[in-house]
Amino acid sequence: MAVRVRLYCELCHALPDPVTQRALEGQLLHRAFGQYLDAQPGGWLIWTGGGPLGSKRYACAEHRQALIEVLRKHHGAVRRCGVWKDEPYPALWPDGLRGLDEHELAELLEGGRRSAREHAS
């Protein structure tokens, strides 16, 4: 039986675009605890939670700051839980590009363009 996971922004109930949806689905089995993650390319925020920090929570790019404020209000007294960590957060990319931030991705793409230009010359 096929199952489809529908992840949405908990503040406005928006659904992610298909590529960001794949990044969100890809993190479901990660065992991270109490950390923020960026789901790219849509800029969604994931709070991994866990244990006393609650379940995973998701926010679209428009509401990510509001989710951070809610989490800091509720879990701000818990030391070492990651709720006070500032951006940039680890980025999740679909199709094996996990862990690259925007600058690293741009460098990777520029390097690929350079090598293609060098081969064409």
CB of 53 closer than 8 Å to CB of 36: no
CA nearest neighbour of 61 among 26, 100, 95, 87: 87
Whole-Å CA distances, 96 to 8, 20, 23, 35: 22, 13, 10, 20
0.85 surpassed by pTM: no
What's the confidence (pLDDT) of residue 21?
92
Both structure tokens of 104: 């690293």
What's the confidence (pLDDT) of residue 14?
96
Residue numbers in the chain where pLDDT is lower than 50: 115-120
What's the confidence (pLDDT) of residue 28?
87
